[in-house]
Amino acid sequence: MRFRERCSLLGIIAAAAAVGLGTAAPAQAAPAGDVQPYIVGGTRAAQGEFPWMVRLSMGCGGAMYTPQIVLTAAHCVSRTGPNTGITATVGTVDLNSGGTRVRSTYVHRSPTYNTSTGGDWALVKLASPVSGVPTLPIATTTAYNSGTFDIAGWGAAREGGAQQRYLLKAKVPFVDDATCASPGGIYNDLIPRAELCAGNMASGGVDTCQGDSGGPMFRRDGSGNWIQVGITSWGRGCARPNAPGVYTEVSTFASAIADAARRI
C-alpha cells in the first residue's frame, strides 16, 4: 500500500466477518459518551444539512450518486462483483438513531485504482432505491476544483481516535499540486491529474481522518447548489502541518463513474 488510506480498521473487521472474508481479533469500541464535536477541527452537522451523506458498514463514508447507488472510495471495497455484505445508513446524522438502512447487492471498483492513472472510486449498488433522500451531483469539469471545500464524515476526531456517532463537518482550503507534493515522502506519489489536495499546510488542525474514507469533498457551484469535487482518499496522519488530505479528483473520472453506474 503506497499511502495511509483513511479507512476504519474496526469497520473492515466487521465487513470481513459479514461476508466471510476472514476473521480478526475484535477491536475495542469507544465508550458511549466519547463523542467529540468535530471531524478534526470541525463541528457537528445538523440533521438534514447534508442529506445525501452515507455511512457504510465496512467503516467508510459515501454519498448518494443515484437513489440506488452510493459513490465511495475504491480502497473501501475489495473487488468488483456481487456483494450483499455492506449496509448503507442514509438520512441521519446520528448512527444510533433514525435513518434508513439498506443492504448492498453489487460493487463496482474502479479498474484503474492503484495504477499510475489513479482512480480511488467505487460504486455500491443497494438492494432498493432510497426514497426521499436527495443525491449529490458530481463535478464534470475542473471549474470547481479550487477555493474552500466542505468535508464531512463519521471518522475519527483525532489521529488514532475512535469513530464518531454523529456526523461531523469542517471546511478546508484548496492546496495546489506543487505545494501539496513539496513535503516529499508519500506526497511524491501524488497523481496531479487524478487527485486534489486540501488542508491548512502551515498549521494543520483541520482534516478528514481514519473512517472518513469514501466520503465526499464538496462545495457550492455557480448556482449555489452542492456539488461533489472529491472523494476522501489518503494522507499522512490526520490534520498534521505540511500533510494535507488527498482526495480523488471526481471530474477526471466523471464519465467512467457515469458509465459504470449505467451498467450495474
Tell me, yes or no, if 213 is annotated catalytic: yes
- Choice among 8, 75, 110, 212 that is catalytic: 75
- Choice among 110, 213, 233, 251 that is catalytic: 213
Separation of alpha carbons 177 and 196, rounded Å: 7
Separation of alpha carbons 255 and 261, rounded Å: 10
Separation of alpha carbons 34 and 136, rounded Å: 30
- What cell numbers appear for 189 in the block? 506519489
Separation of alpha carbons 211 and 40, rounded Å: 12
Dihedral-angle region of residue 118 (phi above 0 means left; psi in -120 to 50 means alpha; beta otherwise)? left
Buried/exposed code over 241-263 (b: 16+ C-beta within 10 A; e: otherwise): ebbbbbbbbbbbbbeebeebbee
Tell me, yes or no, if 104 is annotated catalytic: no
- Choice among 78, 104, 110, 120 that is catalytic: 120
Tell me, yes or no, if 75 is annotated catalytic: yes
Separation of alpha carbons 68 and 133, rounded Å: 10
Strand 148-153 and strand 122-126: pairing? Answer: unpaired
Alpha helices by DSSP H, the chain: 9-19, 177-181, 254-263
Q: How far is CA 162 from CA 31, 193, 204, in A?
A: 9, 33, 20
Separation of alpha carbons 206 and 212, rounded Å: 13
Catalytic residues: 75, 120, 213
